[in-house]
Structure 1
Amino acid sequence: MNVIYLVLVISCNVVFRVEALDNVTLHKDFQILTADNDLWVHLAKNCRNASYSCIKTSVYDYLKFVLENPGDVQFTSFLKFPRNSYEYTPSDNSSSPDLNDEDKYEMPLQEVSRSLTSATKTFFMTHDVELSLPGTFFLGSVLKVSPRSMDSNSTILKLEVDAKEPNDTAVGEGRIFFKKIRNL
């Protein structure tokens, strides 16, 4: 699970702009190194002393901000996570009423992992995935994946392909060499 969160941090840090970080004044060389990388700017602002706990807290806060984003998310020019109309409420099936207070205690790492897992599930259930397919082979079609339900170890998805109709100019453009050969 930690690898998934790390990949999510790396891919999300270019997409989101934390408005509170706009007023940060940093060293000129550091601004060049961290351009368009809000996670690094956030770490530099909050963690002047490079302690593990500060970095861990800042990364956790950043992930919570990213995963609780209520709007559409555009990762790249071809991958988009638009918000869908599904209202997902995570069910807590893991807790049993027979546990006493001593058994309910969680280690901090387990609590953070459980919280991020819940936020990730909520994000993926409330956002569709739209993948623009290459225009060369698929003529700009869009693959849309919509989540429908999620269990503890499975998910039901709806797959749609929004196929574009080929235009006539794209079909007839490849004949320039035939015309040149005829002229010889």
Structure 2
Amino acid sequence: MNQRRSLKEFNLLNEVLIVMITPFDLFGYGLYRYTFQMKCEEVPELKLDDGATRIFLNTRGEHPELVSPELIELLKYMEHSTDEVSGSCESKRIQEMHRRVCQIKASEKTEVKYMQTWEEKILIKQEGIAEGEKRLLVSQIQKKLAKNYSAEQISEILEIDISKVENIVEEIQNEKAVEE
């Protein structure tokens, strides 16, 4: 009974649609669209009804008979969002989308917000990379300390300045002192 109830609750999860658009054929079958839903490898007819569907769209598909013309137009537009491509589309929705994209691009206020967001993302990424590099270095130094290497030896092995090693060793010791 409990197992049946939890399966019922699992099936009540919201549906999730993940769409990935690529300018190349990720799977090599020449299709515009590949749709995946979870199934058991050992028992193929057993599907996991988790509501998740993954769709991979290929802007360079070769089988137009398998998808709508509007999807093909959209994928062409996604790859080349120009006035010419938009103008050649029969889909009014794609033409309207292009008009709105052009309005947004023409708005100086939107452009400034976009640039600020872009700069913030770059800063966050750079900070994340720096933090990751520092964690790796701390981990390497901790391993060398555990093997009773001196700061000078660690500096030589890792090819970094002795003062940097000493600062990190001090940080490690301070953290240990706080934990105790």
TM-score (norm 2): 0.23
Query: Which protein has the larger Cα radius of gyration, Structure 1 or Structure 2?
Result: 2
The structure that is helix-richer by fraction is 2
